[in-house]
Amino acid sequence: MRYAERGYDLEIDLSRGGIDRVETDPRSMELYLGGQGTAAKLLWDRVPPEAEPFSPENLLIFSSGLLNATPVPGATRTSVNTFSPQTSLMAHSLMGSYFGVEMKHAGYDKIVIRGKSPDLVYLWINNGKVEIRDARHLRGKGTQETAALIKEELHDNKVQVAAIGPAGENRVYMASIDHSHASAARGPGPVMGDKGLKAIAVRGTQDIHTARPAELFEICLRLSKELYDNPNVGDWMAVDEDDSFHHDNFSWGNARVRQKVWSKELQERWTKLKYDHMDRQTGCYNCPKKCHNVISWPGRKRFSYKCYGKDTYHMAAFQELDFSYDILGVAQELGLDSYSTPQVIAFALELLEAGILTDQDFPGMPSDVRKRYFYLLDKITRREGIGDVLANGVYWAARQIGKGAEKYDHNTTKKFEQLPIKLGKVNPAYFLMIATGEKMSITQIEGSFPQDPLPTMEQRQEFVKNWVAVPHEKFKEWFLRWEKRNEISNEASCAITDWNEAMHYIDDSLGLCGFVSSFRGQFGGKTGYHVWNIPQLISLSTGLDFDKDKLWKTFQRIRTLVRAVNVRRGLRRRDERPPEDHWAVRDEKSEQKLLDNYYQFKGWTTDGIPNKETLDKLGLNYVSEDFIKRGILTGNESTPSKETSNGQAKQ
């Protein structure tokens, strides 16, 4: 019997209407776990590097995490992977709530979609019964509306639906896939639309088995209480009304202006605004935290938000929280990501002010800034006029518009909008994470090691005292000695980046939520999951023997494979640059030295390509062979001088 996973993928060919249930190789669980790990393997095996994101050959993969549907609390993430039309590289997107769990109960670890449907369809999966159904009547419908209509049509309110809105149908690059109170943003929405797939509806009523169920259940029940009691995990923004951090430190507008706005008066007013309109807080499947704020705003549909999503619109528009509440539900219903969309709009309005775009580009646009945001949401969603250009994101829009618009694209890396943060001095680990993170999003790679040093030795000692999550004692020493943000050794910076990244790759393959794991260690140190307790949970769930070293090596294998997937599509060192104005004080020479050190630490060439020795050591011989055949590697690349693992250099 296969434990934790189901051992089957559902393969859908939308061009030919093909539906297959395919047994998977049991070894792939041991090598790549599940979720984005096994998805990366499928993308490597099945999508040739020449394939355009908007081509029938591109795959759109919905993966349950290996621990989804087991009793492990907070194992709620479904990953959605494909090749992004914006970057042409691998898109990693994660959504919570119930989808991956339901999929697993229906009998599948993954839903793998290829081809393109000639007309709009949706997929109905009811255990072994799978249908591709007409969705023409759902064209143009919102994400929630679509889910409700499908449930009604199927006479089943326990169905879990993931759907795109009109933005996805129109292949808007910022389009998201929405499910319940969760959203798979940043990449896969337009591909779903391109394939003519409006939604996936799943219903599963089958048993899930784990290898040592009683022991696992008991541990998980205890863990669930621990997570509930632990104030360091979950989304603090859901429960703490002091959001001075984002408002005073992040940049407003098109990632431009830092302003200190936070005050007691504002906090009180906004808190009242929230509680006057909040119905409740909800959580994802089998998680004791409740990170989603459910809001009813007059005249709008009920919606929910999580995390920094609540700030992006009003900060881009220099408005207040009531504006975000007014627009957020509308944007979600259109199926637009709340990170990149407000930046694209702010960018467009900057171009108008600069005279690069003119009033003629915005026919009938109101003068009120709030109304302008609604106007542009509509234009972008429908790809109408200037909206058709903006729908390609800031990077591409700037190049299409020309006339100096490129200068206003100042917050993208690898063609992707970044968080609106502009700082003074470089934090070296952050330089590395922004430069090299494959998810191209800082919040999806940071999280285990604190962002900044603590001012006094006593505070640092206090911090490290119960810091059980560290993979190696060395991290404590580095933290104790760290006094100024930009002054920390390259050696430490490389290991810190590696550890931060490790936790995310592990989470994204197991389906663990970053809020109980990879993202939360930096604030107080006591996170729910770490390299010491995860192996036991994998072992009890799957029956495979995992320990910390094996888990770490698995991370390295998955991470290196993801890099290889992108390298084969052209990613090189030249692309690994944080936005030029991300920090005020820059030093090109030492940054490049740091990048050299990091590549070496990872076992990559100076051009950022995993070398043959690294690949072979991780059992990725098929990658090294392919690279040599394609001339990406010669096979004689210099090897790193030191063998490294777990952030510690071995002699």
Partner 1 sequence: MVTVKAGLKKKLVKEIKVDVDKCTGCRSCEMACSAFHAVPKYSSLNPARARIRVVIDESRDIYVPIRAGEYTQAECTGRNIYTIHGKEYSECSFCPACCPSRDYFKEPDSGLPLKCDMCEDEPPLSEPMCVQACQQDALTYVEREELVEEQKPEVKLEEMEIVFEALVKKHGKKKVMDTFTRLSKS
Q: CA 458, CA 437: separation in Å to the nearest integer?
A: 33
Which SS3 state, helix, strand or coil, does residue 232 take?
coil
Minimum CB–partner distance for residue 181 and ligand SF4 (Å): 8
C-beta pairs of 636-640 under 8 Å, 24+ apart in sequence: 637/605, 637/609, 637/611, 637/612, 638/605, 638/611, 639/603, 639/611, 639/613, 640/600, 640/601, 640/603, 640/611, 640/614
Rank residues 67 and 191 by Cβ distance to partner 1 and give the closer one: 67
Considering CB distances under 5 to 8 angstroms, the limit depending on partner class, which of ligand SF4, partner 1, none binds residue 567? none
Cβ proximity of 407 and 401 under 8 Å: no
Considering CB distances under 5 to 8 angstroms, the limit depending on partner class, which of partner 1, ligand SF4, none binds residue 281? partner 1
Minimum CB–partner distance for residue 124 and partner 1 (Å): 16
If one asks whether residue 224 binds partner 1 (CB under 8 A), the answer comes out as yes
Minimum CB–partner distance for residue 161 and partner 1 (Å): 11
If you ran DSSP here, which 8-state letter would residue 359 be given?
G
**What is the identity of the amino acid at 438?**
E
Minimum CB–partner distance for residue 64 and ligand SF4 (Å): 14
Rank residues 101 and 380 by Cβ distance to partner 1 and give the closer one: 101
Considering CB distances under 5 to 8 angstroms, the limit depending on partner class, which of ligand SF4, partner 1, none binds residue 221? partner 1
Minimum CB–partner distance for residue 89 and ligand SF4 (Å): 26
Rank residues 441 and 644 by Cβ distance to ligand SF4 and give the closer one: 441
Residues 286-305 that bind ligand SF4 (CB under 6 A): 287, 289-291
Rank residues 225 and 407 by Cβ distance to partner 1 and give the closer one: 225
Applying CB under 8 A, among 42, 69, 185, 426 the residue interacting with partner 1 is 69
Query: How many CB atoms sit inside 10 A of residue 54's CB?
Result: 15
Angle at 57 between CA 180 and CA 65, to 5 degrees: 40
Q: Residues 199-218 vs partner 1: string with x where CB under 8 A?
A: -----xxxxxxx--xx-xx-
Minimum CB–partner distance for residue 286 and ligand SF4 (Å): 8
Q: In this structure, what token pair is assigned to residue 351? A: 């171009």
Query: How many CB atoms sit inside 10 A of residue 617's CB?
Result: 16
Rank residues 101 and 394 by Cβ distance to partner 1 and give the closer one: 101
Minimum CB–partner distance for residue 230 and ligand SF4 (Å): 11
Minimum CB–partner distance for residue 129 and partner 1 (Å): 13
Tell me the window of 39-47, 61-69, 282-290, 585-593 that interacts with ligand SF4 (CB under 6 A). 282-290
Minimum CB–partner distance for residue 513 and ligand SF4 (Å): 3
CA distances (Å), origin 612, targets 355, 437, 560, 627: 51, 21, 11, 9
Applying CB under 6 A, among 516, 551, 595, 618 the residue interacting with ligand SF4 is 516
Applying CB under 8 A, among 46, 290, 550, 577 the residue interacting with partner 1 is 290
Task: Find all residues with CB under 8 Å of 402, minimum gap 6, and list them.
Answer: none
Minimum CB–partner distance for residue 285 and partner 1 (Å): 6
Cβ proximity of 578 and 432 under 8 Å: no
Applying CB under 6 A, among 101, 162, 386, 513 the residue interacting with ligand SF4 is 513
Task: Find all residues with CB under 8 Å of 123, minimum gap 6, and list them.
Answer: 12, 111, 113, 130, 131, 132, 133, 197, 199, 200, 201
If one asks whether residue 185 binds ligand SF4 (CB under 6 A), the answer comes out as no
Minimum CB–partner distance for residue 469 and ligand SF4 (Å): 17
Residues 50-79 that bind ligand SF4 (CB under 6 A): 74, 76
Q: Residues 303-332 vs partner 1: string with x where CB under 8 A?
A: -x----------------------------
Task: Find all residues with CB under 8 Å of 23, minimum gap 6, and list them.
Answer: 7, 8
Q: CA 326, CA 630: separation in Å to the nearest integer?
A: 52
Nearest to 72 by CA among 101, 114, 92: 101
Residues 497-516 that bind partner 1 (CB under 8 A): none
Helices 143-154 & 321-334 angle (0-180, nearest 10): 50
Query: What sections of 529-611 are H helices per DSSP?
Result: 534-542, 548-568, 588-602
If one asks whether residue 253 binds ligand SF4 (CB under 6 A), the answer comes out as no
Cβ proximity of 312 and 338 under 8 Å: yes
If one asks whether residue 33 binds ligand SF4 (CB under 6 A), the answer comes out as no
Specify whether the backbone of 155 is left (phi greater than 0), alpha (psi in -120 to 50) or beta: left
Considering CB distances under 5 to 8 angstroms, the limit depending on partner class, which of partner 1, ligand SF4, none binds residue 96? ligand SF4
Which SS3 state, helix, strand or coil, does residue 63 take?
strand
**What is the identity of the amino acid at 471?**
P
If one asks whether residue 247 binds ligand SF4 (CB under 6 A), the answer comes out as no
Task: Find all residues with CB under 8 Å of 630, minimum gap 6, and list them.
Answer: 568
Radius of gyration of the chain (CA): 23
Considering CB distances under 5 to 8 angstroms, the limit depending on partner class, which of partner 1, ligand SF4, none binds residue 206? partner 1
Rank residues 98 and 499 by Cβ distance to ligand SF4 and give the closer one: 98
Q: Residues 264-283 vs partner 1: string with x where CB under 8 A?
A: ---------------xxxxx
Considering CB distances under 5 to 8 angstroms, the limit depending on partner class, which of partner 1, ligand SF4, none binds residue 511? none
For partner 1, the binding residues (CB under 8 A) are 69-71, 73, 98, 105, 144, 148, 157-158, 180-181, 204-210, 213-214, 216-217, 221, 224-225, 227-228, 279-288, 290, 294, 296, 301-302, 304
For ligand SF4, the binding residues (CB under 6 A) are 74, 76, 96, 234-235, 283-284, 287, 289-291, 513, 515-516
